[in-house]
Structure 1
Amino acid sequence: MSRAAKVVTGVAAAAVIAGLVVLAYPAFAALAGLEHPSASAVSSAPRTAAPAPTPSPTPSKDDGSDDCPTEEATISITSKGDSAPTARLVFASSLTDKGARSGARGEVVSNAQGIYSYIVAPNDNLISIERRLCIDYGSVSVFDHVLGSAIQPGAQLILRPDPTIPWIDPHMPFDAIPNVTNTVDYNSTIYEMGAAVRTHDLDTARALWARSLSGHVSPAAQDAATKALDAGDWPVLDQLFP
């Protein structure tokens, strides 16, 4: 089975910048923002008519075999001109649960469209999750703001993004000036926002947004985040700050 990453132009650059951020700011590894929202955060979705995602039983497959399609599912992040990047699932029919196995024993969460997210279990790793669900782990890592390859038990990896919600680059502010803008505070705040959203700490999320993020994301993301923070719209905040 092919393991080639299918992330679109611009995502690879974000991954390189991620590596630089790790070198420049090792304290990120300690931030709770490395984890992602729990499955309970998906249980209420006031902005969408689709049924809330619910955990579904999955088969057990401990032999570690790979039988995914040649074209794996992948999360494609694209933008046109100066518009905000958005993400969508490509080759969605390939996204399927091949069964729990070593390194991928977590819970799969589904909604009306199919598999929605994956809840990380102890000792899980991104490559095994890819083999279990037939989705390119590199694109999952980029979309879900994973720092390096670190995933923590209880973290939620969103696998089916809402293409109407802008994607926020966790490494580079929208208004950054190359070789001029200091991105350290922006980077760390993104991960702090993820922790606040995961725990539904609205006051902290609003304070972090006002302190370091508002005005430094795309106009579309600015509008979406402001409305979601005003309304406490967790399904939207889950995807803006996974």
Structure 2
Amino acid sequence: MKRSTKITMVVSAAVVTGLLVLALPAMIGATTWVTGVFGAGSGSPAATEPPNPTADPASDDGLVDLGDGISVPAGGPGECTSTAHISTMSTRTDDSGPYYSKLIGDLVDRGPSELASGQALTDEAGGVYAYEVAAGDSAIAIGERFCIDYITVQSHNHVRAGMIHAGNILYLRPDPTLPWVSPYEPFDVQPGEQTGPYYDAIDFMRNAVVAQDLAEAQRVWAGLGPHIHPDARTIATRALEAGDWELLRQMFP
């Protein structure tokens, strides 16, 4: 079975059509170290507190502008008028190329709810690019808060069995120039090869990155790196050398 087929199987049928094409446009959302190496600009996005609602009247699209790139439906949360999703796709039809993730549609922060009370993280331009999970949060409720398909959010963010925990960072607007690392199987997997050790190594790498434990991250990477697509391997290796934890966290969420 082709690797892209295995990945798209975890995505709901409602978004399958969005997985057919993945363009690589100019940088969307968080500015990362990648653009500092391969393009103009550098640095990691800074998390900011979401603004307080204002008394601004609703616009023609029925949304109230809260400032900093965040809008909510006029008259309360209401229902999403559309649902965004994250598309993850190989750049080559034979699956030999790296995978990339891209937000399809628009994020709308409808505001905190009982099961989605965490903080929206915004980039320097004020746009929401990620969400910090709070205790008691539900992946479904997070999707409803931001009008995005929660299944594709889980898939992109390597969420296992739908389990999210307080403090997790869920990237809602992935950097489309940053290769996506598959948590399911190595790039160089051979027929009949056991993928369990690779699957566990991805978890070990994630934990080391979250803890910002450079020695442990380097130890895990020494065994994991050769099994990652060369494009992603190059970026992750340089990020480790530079100590760019934000970039590494995007690659190993």
- Fold conserved between structures, TM > 0.5: yes
- Counterpart residue number, 2:130: 117
Contact 1:44/1:52 (CA < 8 Å) preserved in 2?
no
Is 1:147 the equivalent of 2:160? yes
Aligned mates of 1:50, 1:191 — CA distance in 2: 23
Deviations 1:167-194, CA, capped at 9 Å, x for gaps = 000011111123x111111101101111
1:80 positional shift: 2.2
- Counterpart residue number, 1:172: 185
Contact 2:181/2:232 (CA < 8 Å) preserved in 1?
yes
Identity in percent: 39
- Counterpart residue number, 1:12: 8
- Counterpart residue number, 1:37: none
Contact 2:31/2:43 (CA < 8 Å) preserved in 1?
no
Aligned mates of 1:12, 1:58 — CA distance in 2: 38
**Structure 1 residues 228 and 49, CA, compared in 2 at 3 Å: closer, same or farther?**
closer
- Counterpart residue number, 1:102: 114
Is 1:56 the equivalent of 2:50? yes
Greater shift, 51-60 or 157-166, is seen at 51-60
1:119 positional shift: 0.8
Unaligned runs of 5+ in 1: 1-7, 16-41
Aligned mates of 2:5, 2:49 — CA distance in 1: 33
**Structure 1 residues 122 and 175, CA, compared in 2 at 3 Å: closer, same or farther?**
same
Contact 1:84/1:221 (CA < 8 Å) preserved in 2?
yes
Unaligned runs of 5+ in 2: 12-29, 37-41, 54-71
Select the residue among 187, 200, 215 that pairs with 1:188. 200
1:11 positional shift: 2.7
1:97 positional shift: 0.9
1:13 positional shift: 3.4
SS at match of 1:56: coil
Is 1:75 the equivalent of 2:69? no
Who wins on radius of gyration, i.e. which is larger?
Answer: 2
Contact 1:43/1:53 (CA < 8 Å) preserved in 2?
no
Give the number of the structure with larger relative contact order, counting CA–CA contacts within 8 Å between residues 6 or more apart.
1
Contact 1:118/1:159 (CA < 8 Å) preserved in 2?
yes
**Structure 1 residues 49 and 152, CA, compared in 2 at 3 Å: closer, same or farther?**
closer
* TM-score calculated relative to the size of structure 1: 0.76
Which letter maps to 1:105? S
Aligned mates of 2:225, 2:185 — CA distance in 1: 14
